[in-house]
Structure 1
Amino acid sequence: AHAGEPVQRFHATADFTLDVRDLEHLASDTREAEARRLAGAEALRPFDLAKGPLLRASLLRLAEHHHVLLVTMHHIISDGWSMGILVRELGALYRAFSAGLGSPLTALSLQYADYAVWQRNWLQGDALERQRSWWRQHLAGAPRALELPTDFPRPAVQSFSGASVPFLLPQELSQALQTLAQRHGATLFMALLASTQALLARHSGQDDVVIGSPIAGRRFAELEGLIGFFINTLALRSRLDDGPTFVE
């Protein structure tokens, strides 16, 4: 903080140390299990936000030509989109350097700090008040929670000890959903969102459903190649009090 206001402070470029662990001394049938154990332990190691660094990497050697690279970043400096950039550019650099060539990557036209300054300058005054006013109106009277008939009562204090359940839709159903969406000038996301809202409304008995959905937040082409935290979670509210059809 400077004069009571938050300011950006850039750390000097730091030497990066790649931690290398050799697992070749282990029995061949236990190396992968040990690699997975180390990966899990690495993911649980906390970061020091005041000191940094907020990125760590270690290399696990399982055999002469079999390695596992662990890269861990704090969410405050990267998002899901950033992971794609990291993997793509790391692969390009590896191929180039292993062939004795220079970096094939083009220089970025701006850095995340430039974006942060732009956003801070934009999101104040009338622009900030317009945003706040719109969301206050959009979320006025929204339910505090979705009262689903769960196996156990909702705890007094939210614990965040949830889980995710991945599943696949049959190809025929996916194609039918895509066709339905196109027929009504909607995207597949919109069709899936509508079906999810309808399902939650049916199970909860509520006619006002709010679903949080992350968006990329990269509104400009110049931001597409940046590693950083851009995502924002939008509250998508659907009111079903007038008994709309699914198409509506």
Structure 2
Amino acid sequence: MTDHSIAFELLQRLRNRGAQLWEEQGKLNYRAPQGVISADDLHTLRAHKANVLAILAGEQQQTTLIADETARFAPFPLSQVQAAYLVGRNDAFGYGGVACHVYLEVNYPLLQHARVSAIWNELVARHDMLRTVFDRSGSQRVLPDVPELIIDCASSGAEQGEALLDSVKQQMGHRLYQPEQWPLFSLSLSQLPARSVLHLSMDFLIADWASIWLLLGEFEARYQHPDQPLPPLKIQFRDYLLAERGMDESPAAQRDRAWWQQRIPQLPASPQLPLLDTQERQPARFTRRFLQLPEERWAALKQQAAQCGITPTAAVLTAYASVLQRWSASEHFCLNLTVLNRQPLHEQVDRLVGDFTSVSLLEVDQRRPMSWAERASAISQQLYDDLDHRLCSGVEVIRELARAKGRDYALMPYVFTSAIGLVPADAENALQGKLDGRGITQTPQVFIDCQAMDSAAGLQVNWDVRDGVFPSGMIDDLFASFESLLNAMAQEDAIWQQTAQVALPEWQREQRLQVNDTHAPLPEGGLHQPFFAQAHLTRMRWR
């Protein structure tokens, strides 16, 4: 990875945690909550100060973010990703007919229902996007007032606890909200003998992953410290989005658009995995596969990645891309990356709830043999080249790709989402609520969404897979190979210098050995003799 790439990745990671960095008279300045910037981060910032300052200087645009309180409740346009989410709800498009939605279960010590309800209603009043609806005209607007948010609460004994959780998940896990009706999210509380489970269902139209972690963090802060109010917000998502749209025709955006236009003719299609040939229309359902690398093993994987000069995200992404390639008919393809892309237009941008998501197409070329370290480095370098031109949205790139090569070619259903480093892992700043992998996400025109995040407990990875797309058992094989590869990357020093090759599942290796085991005794005599013997047995008799 180049020095520029290291500086860029560090900036993105610190901003996602809530840090603010800016250049002023040639000096690097930063502001961050306590514990967000570690000693290692400061060391890296000093070592790459020149590159960090160059990136910050290049980001300074003629864009001004203004809080427009008088137009706060006036309609405003959608982001490109929000518009794509709305189009994806239409089942007239292939693999559409589904909302972009997340369902989470967060485990806490016993919570008081009344306090939970009061705090979440406070958050609804604080964040405009929690009161936003979407009009058929293709705009969104904030409602000045909404009814009280009702949070259901149910209790259960130890024996019926899992049944209660399953019942709530069945009701909330694939919820389809009407965009023009408030609310576009819901919560429920399950009271078990030794813990409380907060169920959260949310349409990604109004909040991205970083916003969800922000909401959970603010909920916990208000619950644990009821006498400490949250600092008032000076801006809202509407202000940010309108300012960001002003960057579309900036010189930097035009440069990025030209860079992607030059690449479109050479961009490959998505991985060509075996798919079921079915035209049946049925409600879209997704199923989750979940793995966790414990803290010690995750630390080992991060250390191995650092020794190879790549980030932890690049290591996990390399494993995902390589497993897909093992089952794909092509070794040269594009993946669809979800990017948490908050432009530093105001000191409070990191405190806003909204959909700041962008997407980026990542070209993966595995046609020539490379070691795992070389492959990860190549993927990492391509990733940061792409993100360095992120002012041209991936939605726009996919649209141009569809225009040039057709809609089927431009379908990019294999997604990678990294929240690694997004949630502080230190005990003081980490979220107190615990996730256990029981959640689910769903996205239109997506077959597999690989989501990676880390915490004090280690690395957690979800694969949310659309049902009815792949042959039976195939995803289990892919996911087992993915988990095995991550563990090998963490525990085996030598693997990084070995030729990158994903091992087949054991049952497939055994089956191939059996099919190719053709050893048998050779018959005696010439090849012609059995023919004449058969002719003799069936000879015609003339009368």
Q: Structure 2 length normalisation: TM-score?
A: 0.38
Deviation per CA, 1:76-133, whole angstroms, max 9, x where unpaired? 1112212211111112212333xxx3x4311224211111111221124755544333
Please say which structure displays the higher CA radius of gyration.
2
Partner of 1:81: 210
Contact 1:209 1:237 survives alignment (8 Å) = yes
**Residues in 2 aligned to 1:163 and 1:35: alpha-carbon distance in whole angstroms:** 16
Structure 2: gaps spanning 5 or more residues: 1-74, 77-136, 375-543
Paired with 2:321 and 2:158, the residues of 1 have a C-alpha distance of 49
State whether residues 75 and 229 of structure 1, in contact with CA within 8 Å, keep that contact through their aligned partners in structure 2: yes
Return the alpha-carbon distance in structure 1 between the equivalents of residues 185 and 286 of structure 2: 26
Distance, in Å, in 2 between the alignment partners of 1:19 and 1:162 is 25
- Is 1:115 equivalent to 2:247 in the alignment? no
1:82–1:226 Cα contact (<8 Å) kept: yes
1:226 paired residue number: 352
Q: How does 1:198-217 map to 2 (within 5 A)?
A: 198-204=322-328, 206-217=330-341
Counterpart-to-counterpart distance in 1, 2:356 and 2:164 = 34
SS at 1:229's partner residue? Answer: coil
- The 1-side partners of 2:243 and 2:187 are apart by 31
Task: Tell me which of 224, 227, 231 is aligned to 1:95.
Answer: 224
Letter in 1 for 2:244: Q
Conserved? CA contact 1:142–1:208, under 8 Å: no
Secondary structure in 1 matching 2:314: helix
Q: Over the residues paired in the alignment, what is the CA RMSD in angstroms?
A: 3.6
Q: 2:366 aligns with which of 217, 231, 240?
A: 240
Residues in 2 aligned to 1:245 and 1:195: alpha-carbon distance in whole angstroms: 13
| Structure 1 CA distance for aligned equivalents of residues 196 and 302 of structure 2 | 40
- Report the more deviating stretch, 108-117 or 10-19: 10-19
Conserved in 2, the CA contact under 8 Å of 1:197 and 1:209?
Answer: no
Q: Cα deviation per residue 1:18-65 (whole Å; 9 max; x = unaligned)?
A: 2444557xx7643652354134313444322113222333445668x9
Q: Is the counterpart of residue 188 in structure 1 residue 340 in structure 2?
A: no
Letter in 2 for 1:95: Q
Q: Answer yes or no: is 1:11 the counterpart of 2:136.
A: no
Q: Check the 8 A contact 1:19/1:57 in 2, yes or no.
A: yes
Q: SS state of the match for residue 302, structure 2?
A: helix
String of CA shifts for 1:171-230, please: whole Å, max 9, x gaps.
776555433422232112223323443443344353313222222212436322222111
- Given that 1:208 and 1:240 are in contact with CA atoms closer than 8 Å, whether structure 2 keeps it comes out as yes
Return the letter of the residue paired with 1:192. Answer: V
Aligned: 1:106 with 2:231: yes
Match of 2:262 among 122, 137, 148: 137
Residue segments in structure 1 that go unaligned for 5+ positions in a row: none
Q: Percent of counterpart pairs with the same letter?
A: 23
Residue pair 2:341, 2:356 contacting (<8 A) in 1 also: yes
Partner of 2:187, secondary structure, is strand
Write the deviation string for residues 125-177 of structure 1: whole angstroms up to 9, x where unpaired: 755544333233334333333123x4x54556998655442224577765554
Answer yes or no: is the 8 Å Cα contact 2:269–2:334 preserved in 1: no
What is the aligned partner in structure 2 of residue 47 from structure 1? Answer: 177
Residue of structure 2 in register with 1:72 after alignment: 201
Work out the CA distance in 2 between the residues paired with 1:183 and 1:242.
Answer: 23
Does structure 2 retain, via aligned residues, the 8 Å contact 1:18–1:59? no
Counting matched residue pairs gives 237
One-letter amino acid matched to 2:335: I
